[in-house]
């Protein structure tokens, strides 16, 4: 994070975050991708978790042109959820879990989110909601998705 924003490279506008991330996974699968206190995931582990989320979202009919709300504190789960949404081809709207359930419902409705991914909070009565931490590794690999770098994120 300290080096973030100091790169002289330009962002490849025609590429998606999904594509760039998957290339990084191929280059450095065993390197640490995310770290939170004493927890960490390698690029390969994070990719597998995000893939499991993406495949489930696709099963639920979430894809390009859709929005998914990601309600999680700043955590490894939040990163996995956001990547999973992008890998499904959808856009995500982050939700601050400290704002409370009423605010979460408002953001989900206002953004027309097709589904709510959540972690670190209780979600009662939501028809379309999935807990980020309960996704299991899948051997389906990276999901194919349509999209461009110009799509909403």
Terminal alpha carbon distance of the chain: 20
> What average pLDDT does this structure show over 86-91?
94
Evaluate whether residue 146 is within a structural domain: no
Distances (CA, A) of 10 to 15, 38, 75, 79, 150: 12, 33, 28, 23, 15
Evaluate whether residue 67 is within a structural domain: yes
Confidence of residue 153 (pLDDT cuts 50, 70, 90): very low
Confidence of residue 63 (pLDDT cuts 50, 70, 90): very high
Query: Which residues, in sequence order, are CB contacts of 68 under 8 Å at separation 6+?
Result: 57, 62, 85, 88, 90, 91, 92, 93, 113, 114, 115, 116, 117
Confidence of residue 2 (pLDDT cuts 50, 70, 90): low
Domains identified in the chain, total number: 1
In contact, 93 and 111? CB cutoff 8 Å: yes
Evaluate whether residue 12 is within a structural domain: no
Evaluate whether residue 52 is within a structural domain: yes
CATH number of domain containing 26: 3.40.50.980
117: three-class secondary structure by DSSP: strand
Token pair 């349509």: residue:
146
Evaluate whether residue 9 is within a structural domain: no
Confidence of residue 124 (pLDDT cuts 50, 70, 90): low
Which pTM does this prediction carry? 0.84
Evaluate whether residue 64 is within a structural domain: yes
């Amino acid at each position: 994070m300290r080096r973030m924003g100091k790169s002289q490279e330009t962002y490849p506008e025609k590429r998606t975050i999904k594509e760039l991330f998957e290339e990084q996974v191929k280059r450095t699968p065993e390197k640490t991708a995310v770290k939170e206190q004493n927890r960490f995931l390698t690029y390969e582990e994070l990719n597998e978790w995000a893939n499991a989320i993406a495949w489930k979202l696709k099963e639920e009919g979430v894809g390009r042109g859709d929005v998914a709300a990601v309600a999680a504190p700043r955590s490894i789960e939040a990163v996995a959820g956001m990547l999973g949404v992008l890998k499904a081809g959808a856009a995500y709207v982050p939700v601050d879990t400290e704002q409370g359930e009423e605010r979460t419902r408002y953001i989900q409705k206002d953004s027309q989110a097709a589904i709510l991914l959540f972690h670190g909070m209780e979600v009662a009565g939501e028809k379309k909601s999935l807990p980020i931490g309960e996704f299991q590794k899948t051997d389906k690999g990276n999901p194919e998705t349509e999209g461009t770098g110009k799509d909403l994120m």
